[in-house]
Amino acid sequence: MAKDKQRLYWDTTCFLCFLNKEEKERRAICEDILQNGKKGNVTIFTSTFTISEVVYPHRTTINKPRKLSPEEIQLISGMFKWRWLKKVDLDQRVAFKAVELTRDYNLKPADAIHGASAILINADALQKWDRDFDKIAHLITVEEPSRISTQSYFDNILPRIGPNPDDFN
């Protein structure tokens, strides 16, 4: 019997690293996983809540938040419309599970939403680039993303996927 495709849940940090010009290594890993998602080799899930977190003004190197332009928001929004990127709606079921995770494991509400979403869809792994999910690692596999494809000599000539960090000032 053939093994089912791996079901990966992506926290917001995966998308932020994918879009961040300074995250070259992490971006390459995220792009590889996204390419495999597009090809149907894995299934990638994220919360609809992620969309609002990704466009939130984050601190820059000079420690001031920078709002994204309407054009930049449109580029990012397009990424969340990919048919092969599965969205988990932030509904009552997810919200109440997030309340449990916040209460029982002292997760921040946003992290609890991601944890609850990953748990409720029965993801094989919750992928993230931060430590916030260590508290629930006994409930779901928590890991940093890693390449799926064998690194190829041709990586630099393959068509890129999604917005490129150079699209953002």
What is the model's pLDDT at position 163? Answer: 76
| Residue 116 tokens, joined | 């609850």
**Which of 39-53, 66-80, 137-151 comes out lowest in average pLDDT?**
66-80
On whether residue 49 sits in a domain, the answer given is: yes
Start-to-end C-alpha separation, the chain = 49
Number of C-alpha atoms within 13 angstroms, CB side, residue 39?
11
What is the model's pLDDT at position 67? Answer: 79
What is the model's pLDDT at position 158? Answer: 55
On whether residue 128 sits in a domain, the answer given is: yes
Q: Kindly list the strands in the beta sheet with 85-88, ordered across the sheet, starting from the edge strand earlier in the chain.
A: 85-88, 42-47, 6-10, 125-127, 142-143
pLDDT band at residue 156, thresholds of 50, 70 and 90?
low
On whether residue 100 sits in a domain, the answer given is: yes
pLDDT digits (tens, 9 = 90+) for 48-107: 999 999 988 665 555 666 778 888 889 899 999 999 999 999 999 999 999 999 999 999
pLDDT band at residue 18, thresholds of 50, 70 and 90?
very high
Q: What is the CATH number of the domain that holds 48?
A: 3.40.50.1010
- Provide, rounded to the nearest whole percent, the portion of the chain with pLDDT above 70: 84
pLDDT band at residue 154, thresholds of 50, 70 and 90?
very low
Tell me which residue has tokens 């932030």. 90
Backbone phi, then psi, for 123, in 5-degree steps? -65, 150
On whether residue 156 sits in a domain, the answer given is: no
Residue 111 sits in which domain range? 6-149
Question: For the chain, what is the domain count?
Answer: 1
